[in-house]
């Protein structure tokens, strides 16, 4: 599979059979995104939690592409109310085997609400997403803080790529994210959710320096094949 980083927490994955997945499609309001929301073509949209910098263009992209949204049940219900046709709701700890592979929603220590017309909409619990396809395992941590049970994921899964937020303020900072990576024991750990806004400016080498041979910075627009 090919995994491309589009800035902030946005990832796209293309599988050998051509199936396209998009994680946390915050694109049109994302000052560092290398793609345009209206140009995106995808089959599935996976969303970690309900904050606007993760939900992003979920509704518009889902409708235009007739894509399936995979997320926690409350986010799927929100999408259905917005006339998205295809959703698949999961909850924390649950897995489902899709035609392209297996998706598990994992714990994340964070919050999840979506502000719309001055009201805060409950979007369920925040999550991480574990994707298993073509014999590879990818973990998108969402906006989690570091917590000790991440070690259980490291015990249960051989993670090839772990995408961890390092921006601080809203999530882990680089040092805590490096500690989380040590709990998860992935083959490669990639920092995300930094340098998008003033509040989350970070030097990603503060993360990779703690993880020799494992930490890897992806440039925006860069693709890794695993």
Which residues bind to Ni ion, rule: CB under 5 A?
Answer: 51, 143
Name the binder of 107 from Ni ion, Mn ion, none, CB < 5-8 A by kind. none
Binders of Mn ion in range 51-80 (CB under 5 A): 53
Q: Which residue number, 108 or 190, has a Cβ lying nearer to Ni ion?
A: 108
Q: How far is the CB of 142 from Mn ion (least distance, A)?
A: 8
The DSSP output letter for 43 is: S
Please report how close the Cβ of residue 128 comes to Mn ion at its closest, in angstroms. Answer: 13
Q: Which stretch binds Mn ion (CB under 5 A): 34-42, 46-54, 79-87, 209-217?
A: 46-54
Instruction: Name residues contacting Mn ion, limited to 124-143 (CB under 5 A).
Output: 143
- 138 neighbors 13 (Cβ within 8 angstroms): yes
Residue 108 or 133 having the CB closest to Mn ion: 108
CB hemisphere CA count around 174 (13 angstroms): 17
- Category of 84 on φ-ψ map: left (φ > 0), alpha (ψ -120 to 50) or beta: beta
Distance from the Cα of residue 206 to its chain's centroid: 21
What sign results for the dihedral spanned by CA atoms 158, 12, 67, 121?
positive
Dist CA 18 CA 37 (whole Å) = 20
Closest approach, Cβ 200 to Mn ion, in A, equals 8
Residue 102 or 120 having the CB closest to Ni ion: 120
């Amino acid at each position: 599979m090919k995994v491309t980083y589009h800035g902030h927490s946005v990832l796209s994955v293309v599988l050998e059979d051509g199936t396209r997945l998009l994680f946390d499609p915050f694109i049109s309001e994302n000052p560092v995104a290398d793609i345009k929301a209206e140009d995106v073509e995808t089959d599935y949209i996976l969303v970690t939690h309900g904050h606007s910098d993760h939900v992003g263009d979920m509704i518009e992209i889902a409708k235009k592409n007739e894509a399936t949204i995979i997320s926690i049940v409350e986010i799927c219900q929100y999408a259905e109310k917005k006339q998205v046709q295809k959703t698949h709701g999961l909850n924390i700890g649950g897995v489902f085997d899709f035609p392209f592979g297996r998706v598990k929603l994992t714990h994340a220590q964070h919050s999840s609400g979506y502000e719309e017309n001055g009201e805060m909409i409950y979007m369920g619990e925040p999550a991480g997403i574990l994707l298993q396809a073509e014999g590879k395992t990818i973990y998108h941590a969402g906006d989690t803080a570091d917590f000790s049970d991440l070690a259980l994921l490291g015990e249960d899964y051989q993670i090839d790529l772990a995408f961890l937020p390092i921006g601080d303020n809203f999530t882990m900072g680089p040092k805590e994210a490096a500690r989380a990576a040590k709990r998860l024991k992935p083959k490669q750990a990639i920092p995300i959710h930094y340098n998008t806004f003033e509040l989350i400016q970070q030097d990603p080498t503060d993360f990779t320096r703690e993880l020799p041979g494992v930490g890897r910075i992806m440039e925006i627009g860069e693709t890794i094949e695993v």
